[in-house]
Structure formats: C-alpha cells, structure tokens
C-alpha cells in the first residue's frame, strides 16, 4: 500500500464519522480484522472522535463533571491510539520480516506507523480547514486566511506522503530497517503512576 491509499482510507473514515457527527456513535469498520486497512480505519476513527472531544472540552461553559468525564475519555483515547499505532508497526514488522537488510542499512528516526499517524491527523486538519475556508456565516477575511492555511496543509500532505513512501520503499529494499518501540506510557499504569499505586496501596 502507498500513502495515497492510506489517505483514501483516512478520508473515508472522516466522511463516515461526519454523516452523524457525534462522539457517541459506534465505529462501523468496513475492512476485515487483521488487515492493515482495518487498523488504518480504526486509527483514523479514534483520531476523528478525539478531535471532536478536544473541541467539546474547550467549551468555556462546560460544567466540571462533564469536563472531567470528557478528559478521561480523551486520556483513554490517547492510550487506544498509541496501542493501534503500535499494532500498525507490528503489521509492518511482520510484512517486512523476510527482507534482507543491507550492511549499511540505517534506522529511521520515526517508524512507519508514527509517520502514518501524522498523516491521519493531517487529513483531519485538511477536512476541517476546508470547512472553515468555505463557511458562509463568517467574513471574507476569515475565509481567505483559512484558505492560505489549507494550501499549506495540502503541501504538507504532499511532503509527508512522499517521505512515507520513500521510507517504506527503503525498508522493502533493505536500505533501512525498523523496530517497534513500545511507548510504555506510565500515567495509565497503576503500577507505575505514583498517584495510582499509592491510592491502591492505601485502599488495602
């Protein structure tokens, strides 16, 4: 698969979400479990829901109880997102498992999945900036400013897509190799977060 195919899946996920445009709707993943496509669609769905949760929590009139509930949803979403990105990298690691790396092969500063993660977020930025650039309930200055930002985002998509395709090609031909480094987030782990493990110890 190429970056253009990744973007196509992300764009489909964003369109599917906005049919109902609610953070409470369930995902309807059209791709078969275990496939890269399934993981990519899931990844983008998580991003899209979280995008809107981030909007909601910035409402200055939100009450404390609702705000805390949304914040915890965002925390859980971040962990889920990380897990899925690592699953995508595991897929690539298996996919390229038989490639013989060259003697002078190097490792990239960023794994394929984390680069693809940025592409998913970029597609969301493009989608929403396009909406802002064409709004009818604002002034022309706003639309012009948003169009300029949209042009930059589209250029970023070209550059990032080119870099992703080059990285995958380098790995496929042994010029680069990859590893999967788990993020090892500590704040969600009750054995590593001092607030959580002290609270658990105190309740015993």
In a domain, 195, yes or no: no
Q: How many domains does the chain have?
A: 1
In a domain, 66, yes or no: yes
Q: In residues, how long is the chain?
A: 204
pLDDT interval class at 185 (50, 70, 90): low
pLDDT at 137 over 80: yes
Whole-angstrom distance, CA of residue 197 vs CA of residue 186? 11
pLDDT interval class at 200 (50, 70, 90): confident
In a domain, 200, yes or no: no
Domain span holding position 117:
3-186
Looking at residue 194, its pLDDT comes to 82
The structure's pTM equals: 0.91
In a domain, 193, yes or no: no
In a domain, 191, yes or no: no
Overall average pLDDT of the 77-97 stretch: 96
């Amino acid at each position: 698969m190429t970056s253009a195919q990744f973007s196509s899946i992300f764009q489909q996920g964003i369109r599917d979400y906005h049919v109902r445009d609610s953070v409470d709707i369930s995902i309807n993943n059209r791709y078969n479990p275990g496939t890269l496509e399934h993981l990519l669609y899931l990844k983008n769905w998580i991003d899209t829901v979280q995008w809107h949760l981030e909007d909601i929590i910035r409402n200055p009139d939100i009450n404390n109880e609702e705000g805390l509930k949304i914040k915890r949803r965002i925390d859980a979403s971040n962990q889920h997102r990380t897990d899925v990105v690592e699953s995508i990298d595991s897929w690539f690691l298996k996919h390229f498992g038989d490639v013989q790396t060259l003697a002078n092969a190097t490792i990239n500063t960023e794994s394929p999945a984390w680069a693809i993660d940025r592409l998913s977020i970029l597609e969301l930025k493009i989608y929403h900036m396009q909406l802002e650039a064409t709004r009818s309930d604002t002034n022309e200055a706003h639309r012009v400013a948003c169009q300029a930002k949209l042009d930059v985002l589209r250029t970023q998509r070209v550059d990032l897509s080119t870099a992703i395709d080059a990285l995958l090609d380098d790995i496929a031909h042994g010029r680069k190799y990859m590893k999967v480094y788990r993020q090892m987030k500590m704040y969600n782990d009750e054995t590593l977060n001092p607030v959580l493990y002290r609270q658990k110890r105190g309740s015993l």
